[in-house]
Amino acid sequence: MASMESETPDVLNETRNANKKKNGIRMESFYLRKIGFGCFRVQQDEEGNFDMEVVNGDGERRKPTHLLIMVNGLVGSAKDWEYAAEEFLKTYPEDIIVHCSKRNYSTLTLDGVDVMGGRLAEEILLVIKRHPNVQKLSFICHSLGGLIARYAIAKLYEQKEDVQVNGEYNKHGSRDQSNGEEFKEKIAGLEPINFITFATPHLGSRGHKQVPMCCGFYALEKVAICTSYLFGRTGRHLFLLDKDSGNCPLLLHMAGDHEDLKFLSALQSFRRRVTYANMRYDNVVGWSTSSIRRRTELPKLKGLSGDGKYPYIVNVETPKVCSPQLYVLTGAKANRFKKTEVEEEMIKRLSSVGWERVDVDFHRSKQRNNAHLTIQVNRYRVNSDGACVIQHMIDNFLL
């Protein structure tokens, strides 16, 4: 047998890379098995994306029908949702496949919401191809990930021409399909169920304490706007400085339906839309933008408190039952809005599809100054107080 010294450098490098990949998969499997029941299978494709699903004791693969996509935020990674993914699989071991998106991570999150949304849409199609048994689709997104997912679902939205868009609406503000009628609106061919965001800047990050670290001071906000260019196209999208969509900001464009992309119809097709928002101590994303509310609509902090099971969830607002109006935004109409009117237009349009709003307050937590990551339980050792928020989401998740 030839010795290692006699092998060519290319062969040595190939061997090292293969060993690294095997060791990485072993470490992931070991970590997931530490949960304490059953075992997990981690599937990786050629690009390193992975799914987590439960297998039984004899290795027989279960066939869940609900695909859950988890999307990370700015300069984040798939690992950011690791705790929540494990908790979901513990609760729904036979029902859900969890896929933590890996297409947009680290500096790739600076490429712009539209570019990242396109990447996510392609990734979802590949995941569905690997799991032909799935029938339902849900999203859970943190921060910027909510905007990425909103763009992706518009690209994947499907509607048959003979469907009546008006009809009866359930308590979640979406069309009622409880009579057994087949869903006609689909995302990537699947039935859309939950669309959930955590601390997502739905209205962007410009002005009105939407970046709380600026403390509402105009001078600091101007500095933040200037430094937004450090975050590439994504920074310009968040601060509404771009004109990438017919001379209007992309986020305003995403608050309407268009011939090519129907952003609101895609959102409305989900049975539930939920925002989890930090009321304070989130130094990155403001309460108003993450809960899609006007500042005059925000609940008063005084007198709000959580309960024993969810100590940091202090307010839950159910969506108003209504027949939402889908706004179609033309280029001429978009151009006439002043910057001060853009936020109001986005609130009006996004609110028209109905959202459950869950307000979170870490005031009594020692981890409050890291609220933006604690609400997600980004890393359990330092963000563990957010576990009750994840549990609340799991307890109210529609299968």
Model confidence at 125: pLDDT above 90? yes
For 181, other C-beta atoms within 10 Å of its C-beta total: 10
Distance CA 65, CA 58 (A): 21
Model confidence at 32: pLDDT above 50? no
With a pLDDT cut of 70, the percent of the chain lying above it is 67
Q: What is the 3-state secondary structure (H, E, C) of 116-163?
A: HHHHHHHHHHHHHHHCCCCCEEEEEEECHHHHHHHHHHHHHEEECCCC
pTM comes to 0.81
What's the pLDDT at 299? 94
Token pair belonging to 235: 């920074």
CATH topology of domain 20-26+36-395: Rossmann fold (3.40.50)
Distance CA 355, CA 340 (A): 24
What's the pLDDT at 323? 52
Distance CA 243, CA 322 (A): 33
Block residue for tokens 């280029």:
331
Counting Cα atoms < 13 Å in the Cβ hemisphere of 268 gives 29
What's the pLDDT at 166? 47
Average pLDDT over residues 133-159: 97
- Calculate the average pLDDT of the chain: 80
Residue 158 near residue 101, CB atoms below 8 Å: no
Residue 377 near residue 84, CB atoms below 8 Å: yes
Q: Model confidence at 84, in pLDDT bands (50, 70, 90)?
A: very high
User: CA end-to-end span of the chain, whole Å?
Assistant: 56
Model confidence at 211: pLDDT above 50? yes
What's the pLDDT at 2? 41
For 289, residues 6+ apart whose C-beta sits below 8 A from its C-beta are 201, 202, 203, 204, 205, 210
- Which CA distances in Å does 19 have to 12, 49, 249, 343? 11, 18, 47, 51
Distance CA 257, CA 260 (A): 8
Q: Model confidence at 247, in pLDDT bands (50, 70, 90)?
A: confident
Model confidence at 249: pLDDT above 90? yes
Q: Which long-range contacts (CB under 8 A, 24 or more apart) does 123-130 make?
A: 123/49, 124/69, 124/152, 124/156, 124/188, 125/156, 125/188, 126/45, 126/49, 127/49, 127/51, 127/67, 127/69, 127/99, 128/67, 128/188, 128/189, 128/190, 130/43, 130/45, 130/51
Domain ranges of the chain: 20-26+36-395
Tens-place pLDDT, residues 309-364: 999 999 999 997 555 555 555 444 544 556 668 999 999 999 999 999 999 999 99
- Which CA distances in Å does 348 have to 18, 192, 334? 53, 23, 14
What's the pLDDT at 77? 96
Q: What are the b/e assignments for 224-242, b being 16+ CB within 10 Å?
A: bbeebeebebbbbbbbbbb
Distance CA 213, CA 209 (A): 8
Distance CA 201, CA 286 (A): 7
What's the pLDDT at 165? 47
What's the pLDDT at 5? 42
Amino acid identity of residue 280, one-letter, is R
What's the pLDDT at 226? 54
Tens-place pLDDT, residues 151-201: 999 999 998 754 444 445 444 444 454 444 555 899 999 999 999 999 999
Average pLDDT over residues 14-38: 44
Q: Model confidence at 388, in pLDDT bands (50, 70, 90)?
A: very high
For 35, residues 6+ apart whose C-beta sits below 8 A from its C-beta are 86, 89, 90
Model confidence at 396: pLDDT above 80? yes
What's the pLDDT at 93? 92
Segment holding 68, helix H or strand E: strand 66-71
3-class DSSP assignment, residue 287? helix
